[in-house]
Amino acid sequence: MILEVDTSSPVPPYEQIRTQITDLAASGALPVGIRLPTIRQLAGDLGLAPGTVARAYRELESRGVVTSRVRHGTTIAAQGKPSRRDAADQLTAAARTYAIAVATLGVDRNVAVSELDRQLSTLTPA
């Protein structure tokens, strides 16, 4: 399983890490209970500051994607269905990240909406 970070992207690296791990966990590519690399290992491999990876892990933990325990490290948590309020919060955060990327790249609003629509259609069964 490979994680990629684009340091020139308008999306901050911690957010890229968080999004990819969330997606991989949601799709089952990262199964429940699997151990993620330590903060030091992942930061070293990506050439990022440990604080960046630590922030991504903290956010993943606060959203229930991973659990961190002493001696067990950080593992993928069982994904229960989020509460309506949590789902709304997560959607807002993800939409904001997308909006920032659109604004920074100077993409036309209609193009951005149609791209979002296209992405949704790839996930939603016909």
Is residue 1 within the footprint of other proteins (CB under 8 A)? Answer: yes
* Burial of 67 per CB tally in 10 Å (0-12, 13-18, 19+): middle
DSSP letter (8 states) at residue 94: H
Is residue 71 within the footprint of other proteins (CB under 8 A)? Answer: no
Q: How far is the CB of 47 from other proteins (least distance, A)?
A: 4
C-beta separation of 25 from 76 below 8 A: yes
Taking CB under 8 A as the criterion, the residue among 14, 15, 24, 55 binding other proteins is 24
User: Could you give the CA distance from residue 117 to residue 126 in angstroms, rounded to a whole number?
Assistant: 13
Q: Please identify, using beta-carbon distances, which residue of 37 and 82 lies nearer to other proteins.
A: 37
User: Could you give the CA distance from residue 94 to residue 17 in angstroms, rounded to a whole number?
Assistant: 13
Is residue 60 within the footprint of other proteins (CB under 8 A)? Answer: no
Taking CB under 8 A as the criterion, the residue among 11, 19, 48, 93 binding other proteins is 48
Per CB under 8 A, the segment of 33-41, 62-70, 79-87, 109-117 that binds other proteins is: 33-41
CA 105 to chain centre: 20
Residues in the chain: 126
Give the residues lining the site for other proteins (CB under 8 A).
Answer: 1-8, 21, 24, 30, 35-38, 40-42, 44-48, 73
